[in-house]
Amino acid sequence: MEDLILFIDANQAWIYLLLGVAGAAYLRQVIRSYRQHRETIFGLEREQTTGRMRGSGALLATVLALMLATF
């Protein structure tokens, strides 16, 4: 456990940078999926965009949880 904390302390900037880039990418996917969801007319397309939005949102939440855990 002590080794993990020392590793995080030594590489903290790189970890935040990597998680920040991943968070921005997933946030972009959530926004894109939301826009597509609003533009869709048919039910099947709505289900697909809803699934994409939920998946991207779950990964975004995971990245944010990792950022909080690193902090």
Rounded Cα–Cα distance for residues 40 and 63 (Å)? 28
Domain containing residue 25: 2-70
What pLDDT is recorded for position 60?
93
Q: What confidence category does residue 39 fall into, taking pLDDT thresholds of 50, 70 and 90?
A: confident
In tens, the pLDDT along 50-70 reads 999 999 999 999 999 999 988
What pLDDT is recorded for position 42?
86
The pLDDT of residue 4 is above 90: no
Nearest to 34 by CA among 20, 24, 49: 49
Number of domains the chain contains = 1
The pLDDT of residue 17 is above 90: yes
The pLDDT of residue 5 is above 90: no
DSSP characters for 8-29? HHHTHHHHHHHHHHHHHHHHHH
